[in-house]
Amino acid sequence: MTSTSFQYSDISSNDLRLLKPLRFASDELHFAIFRFSRDEAPPYTAVSYAWGDEKLTEKISLNGRILAVTPNLRTCLHYLSMHAEDANWEYIWADAICIDQTNIMERNSQVRLMHRTYKEAVCVSVWLGLPPLTKKQSKSASYIPKLFSGSEAPFSWQDHMAELAGRPYWTRFWVIQEFFLGQD
C-alpha cells in the first residue's frame, strides 16, 4: 500500500462508484473502485451498516492509495471480501467509500438516490458488527449442537436477542429503507 491518500474524481448524479475486492494474501484489504452509469452497473451488494465512531479509523487500499475507514466498515469489508467469490455479485457499494463524503454537492445528490442504489443492488448485506465475545457467549456457542438434539442449553436466548437488538445498527433511521429495498 502506498503512503498517498486516495483522491476522488467527480461523478454525475446518474453514476455510482462500486468497489471490487482484490485478492489479498495478508490482513490488508485491497480494492479497486470503478465508476458506472446506474443504468449499466454490474451486479453489486449494497452494504447496510452503522458507521461506528468516525474518530477511530483503519486503513484500506483503494486503487493502490490509502483510505481511512471506520473499524466497523473495515471489518464488514473484510468479511464481504472473503465471500465475494461465492456470491452473486462482484462489486460492493458502501456509502462511506462510494460517495465522496467531503464533497457536499456529490453527497447531497447521491443521498437523494440511495433508495435507487439499494433497490437496484442484487442483494443488501446487513452488517450488524461482530458480537462482543464474552466468556458466557463463547461458551454458549458450544451448546448449539445440543439445541438441535433437544437438550437444553444453560443460557438465555433472551440475553442474546437483547444484545443483538441493542446494536448501534438499529438506531439508524435509514435501515428500514436499506434492507427492505434490496432484492435479496
pLDDT in tens, 4-63: 889 999 999 999 999 999 976 667 899 999 999 999 999 999 998 887 787 899 999 999
Give me 93's grid cell: 457499494
Give me 129's grid cell: 458488527
Place of cell 448449539: 144
| Residue 103 CA, distance from chain mean position | 21
| Residue 142 CA, distance from chain mean position | 28
Q: Would you say residue 157 has pLDDT above 90? A: no
Q: Would you say residue 178 has pLDDT above 80? A: no
Residue 18 has what pLDDT? 98
> What is the C-alpha separation between 95 and 105, in angstroms, rounded?
15
Q: Name the CA dihedral angle for 106, 112, 117, 119, rounded to a multiple of 10 degrees.
A: 180
For 10, 17, 64, 98, 149, the CA distances from 60, given in Å and listed in that order, are: 21, 16, 9, 13, 43
DSSP 69-82: E-HHHHHHHHHHHH
The pLDDT tens digits of the residues spanning 94-139 come to: 999 999 999 999 999 999 998 999 999 999 998 888 876 665 555 5
